[in-house]
Amino acid sequence: MLRFLRILLTVLLGVLWDGADAFARVSLVDGDDKCSGRVEVLHHNEWSTVCDRDWDLREAHVVCLELGCGLAESALRGSAFGPGRGEIWLRHVQCSGHESSLTRCGVVLYSNSHCTHENDAGVKCSGTLLTPTLTLLSPHTVFSPGEAVRFSCSVLLGQHLSDYHLYKDGVSTPLVTQRADHSQISVELTLSDIETFHQGSYSCRYRIKSGFPAELLSSPPSNSINITVVELLTPQHWYNTSTEAPAGSVIKGHNFNITCSTSQQYPGGSFQLRLIRSNGTVRQSLPALTPSVTFTFPNAQTSNEGYYYCLYRVQLGGRIFVSRESQPLPIAIRDPDPVLSPVMISWLVSGLTFVVAVIILIIVAKVLCNKEKKPSELERETRTCVENTYVALSVNKL
């Protein structure tokens, strides 16, 4: 019963203290730096010390956070930073650790405990907030667009936490924010429905409530985790063959090539060419050392006829990523046109050569024949034309 009354008295007096000195100041004196020293409170324009009875890390945390000095490394008793002066105003400070100021904690203003300045309380603060740890909860670091990336941000604090934030390097505003309760030392931060612009390095921070009036302090950034977003574009494809072949066709026995191309290439990628024909599917693969590769088919046969599809494939981070297939490329294998067959062309050339040779021989023979029958000048002079026919006249010899 007495214990209950003491606790009730402590709370009531704390409320009275809180209302009377809602804007009381707290400082650290005689320490090695501004974040260590003897705890003093400005009360009614006078600095007073705090008795170290029941003084522990909960109260020390409140002081350090209130002064923007991070977290308490130790709660010191026995006038560790030397004795103070003036009145010992606070005795038996009762903090939960979540208060924004030491003056917000429950206290016993007057008690039977014997406190002198040899019992002045002190603290030593870290000076900065603890660095959080970022962990990747997803089982891999490489993702496709539309997937979700799960992180965990944690810090061994558990007090005064306000919220956690996930940052992408180079972006000043957080991509994900998650509120935390006072006792939550770890939260899950999920980056949903990612796109290619989400690729990069990530870190997290947390914020805590500090001081009175309360303000939010941001922690240093955590370690970084890099993620990759793989977006494979649908490949383009086309084919080349002899010029005499009709569109969409290849002449049997001729060569033809199919080229696959993509504008988005990754190390270790490959192109796969898939042929769907009436009796099954045939696949070929070539490494994508360049953005375009060419599949060569010498001596086209009926087995090469069908619908051709290109796709791009790459393995990254232990995962296999495959693009969408290209539009179908139909190719028909046609028998050679008999008129244009090599054998017929050979026969035609041989025949023409023979005819030309015969004509030349006839012309030459005719020229020679006409030359042999050409009359002499005397004969020309002694010929007359009778009914369109030359008749030789008799010539008298002298």
Residue 253 lies in a domain: yes
* Structural contact between residues 261 and 291, judged by C-beta atoms closer than 8 angstroms: yes
Q: Which residues contact 363 (CB under 8 A, 6 or more apart)?
A: none
The residue-averaged pLDDT of 17-26 equals 53
Out of 206, 229, 252, a domain closes at 229
Could you tell me if 144 and 108 lie in one domain?
A: no
Q: Model confidence at 17, in pLDDT bands (50, 70, 90)?
A: very low
Summarize pLDDT for 39-66 with one digit per residue, the tens: 999 888 889 999 998 899 889 988 988 8
From the number of C-beta atoms within 10 Å of its C-beta (0-12, 13-18, 19+), residue 53 rates as: middle
Mean pLDDT value across residues 167-178 = 94
Residue 5 has, within 13 A of its CA and on its CB side, a CA count of 2
Q: What is the mean pLDDT of residues 18-39?
A: 77
Is 37 inside a domain boundary?
Answer: yes
Residue 97 pLDDT:
75
In a domain, 163, yes or no: yes
205 and 246 belong to one structural domain? no
User: Which of 203, 229, 255 corresponds to the end of one domain?
Assistant: 229
CATH of the domain at 101: 3.10.250.10
Domain harbouring 138, CATH code: 2.60.40.10
pLDDT on residue 113: 67
Q: Which secondary-structure segment (H or E) carries 365?
A: helix 342-372
Tell me how long the chain is.
398
20 shares its domain with 116: yes
Helices (H) and strands (E) in the chain, counts: 4, 27
Q: Is residue 342 part of a domain?
A: no
Best-predicted range by mean pLDDT (7-11, 31-35, 127-131, 221-225): 221-225
Is residue 225 assigned to a domain? yes
- Does 186 share its domain with 138? yes
93 and 187 together in one domain: no
Q: Which of 115-124, 258-267, 309-318, 329-338 has the lowest mean pLDDT?
A: 329-338
Number of folded domains that form the chain: 4
Answer whether residue 288 is part of any domain. yes
Using 50, 70 and 90 to split pLDDT, how confident is the model at 11? very low
Tell me whether residue 259 is in a domain.
yes
pLDDT top residue among 140 and 99:
140
Which residues constitute the domain of residue 77? Answer: 2-125
CB-based burial of residue 213 (10 Å sphere; 0-12 exposed, 13-18 middle, 19+ buried)? exposed
372 — pLDDT class (breaks 50, 70, 90): low
In the predicted model, is pLDDT for residue 210 greater than 80?
Answer: no
Average pLDDT over residues 299-314: 96
Same domain, 202 and 224: yes
Whether 175 is covered by a domain: the verdict is: yes
304 shares a domain with 214: no
Domain boundary, last residue among 204, 229, 254: 229
- For 308-345, the pLDDT digits (tens) are 999 999 999 999 999 999 999 999 999 987 655 566 67
- Per cent of the chain over pLDDT 70 is 81
